[in-house]
Amino acid sequence: MPPVIEVERLSRQFRVYRKHEGLVASLRSLFHREYTLVQAVREVSFRIEEGEMVGFLGPNGAGKTTTLKLLSGLIYPTSGTARVLGHIPWKRENSYRRQFSLVMGQKNQLWWDLPAQESFRLHQAIYRIPAREFERRLEELTDLLEVRRLVSQPVRELSLGERMRMELIASLLHHPRVLFLDEPTIGLDVVSQKQVQQFLKYYQQEQKITVVLTSHYMKDVEALCKRVIIIDEGEIRHDGSLGEVLDRFSRFKVLSLVFRNGVIPEGLVRYGELLQADLPYVKLKVDRERISEVLGRLLSQHEVDDITVHDRPLEDVFAEMFESHRKSKGGPGP
């Protein structure tokens, strides 16, 4: 069976107008404009199989949203090829557009002044969803996302978390086979983030749809994605499991310690970087190659009631990875 998403050497350039400061420069630009070519995506290649949920990660400006727009057919590539469900996205065939959805956390697809149910009816007409199937799908999705009582309320009166759940319903009413999610939990509170995560995990497992998720909120990625594709400066830096990211790019682990009698001994910096020293807890950042040595010395020289070894937060690992790459190229850090 061919992959659901197949991308080969996909690139996209943008021509950006360069505006110079000053009145004279502004007047000159009326007759002669200068442009800069920005390479948003550079010969990206990857494959995603049916039923996978893949995290597509990177810093701002890395090329994540541009890639999703290419796969959704919103923009054309400069070079390269891509197929989603056997279709070339930028041909914008109706048979393809009925099989995917794109949800962007910073853009609305619902009518602001109308109740969400009116926008849902519009989606029913656009996608030609039979009435019985529409009612069944709407009932199922509003129950799963706990918003049935809110569908008759104007969208502008909903909280950000409630609006995002309505956006998800609108994107899933026509039962897409592929779902592109661009920062779906951006700006949401912890409770709303958790609700969206739980719904996506359940729905994806039940329906076996293919999901590509971009997010700066690493809890989303950890909760939902076994595989991640990391992109930076338009190029793929990693394609594999989250565990492989930590093995490849994280040089450190974190030791969490509780010393007996709540006394923190002096000189802990000789074991590693002291991250926290608030009674009764101590956290040390230790080179992963020295973990065994440091554990042995701590347990032999100090009375320890509890000790835990864990990986650093993914945000820190990614930041370290991107900064290391920029330094290796001679550029500034983020």
> Domain containing 29 — which CATH number?
3.40.50.300
d(CA 202, CA 200): 6
When pLDDT is averaged across residues 108-112 and rounded to a whole number, the result is 88
Residue 332, pLDDT > 60, answer no
Give residue-wise pLDDT tens across range 1-33: 789 999 999 999 998 777 777 776 666 776 777
Q: Are residues 14 and 99 in the same domain?
A: yes
Same domain assignment for residues 165 and 202 = yes
Instruction: Report if residue 332 sits inside a domain.
Output: no
Which CATH number is 297's domain given?
3.30.70
Which structural domain range is residue 294 located in? 251-311
At residue 331, does pLDDT exceed 60?
no
Q: Does residue 298 share a domain with residue 172?
A: no
Looking only at the bridges linking them, the beta strands covering 79-84 and 178-182 are unpaired
221 and 256 belong to one structural domain: no
Same domain flag for 169 and 183: yes
Is the pLDDT at 149 greater than 60? The verdict is yes
Cβ 282 vs Cβ 256: under 8 Å? yes
Residue 57: inside a domain: yes
pLDDT of residue 72: 95
Residues 256 and 221 in one domain: no
> Based on the domain organization, do 269 and 170 belong to the same domain?
no
Residue where a domain stops, chosen among 246, 270, 290: 246
| 163 and 282 assigned to the same domain | no
Task: Residue 281: count other Cβ atoms within 10 Å of its Cβ.
Answer: 14
Tell whether 321 is covered by a domain: no
The per-residue pLDDT for range 72-90, each reduced to its tens digit, is 999 999 999 999 999 999 9
Does 320 fall in a domain? no
What is the DSSP track for 42-83? EEEEEEE-TT-EEEEE-STTSSHHHHHHHHHTSS--SEEEEE
Chain position carrying tokens 């956390």 = 105
As for how many domains the chain has, the answer is 2
Residue 327 binned pLDDT confidence (cut-offs 50, 70, 90):
low
**pLDDT tens digits, 247-285:** 777 788 898 988 887 778 888 888 888 888 887 788 998
Q: What is the pTM for the complete model shown?
A: 0.81
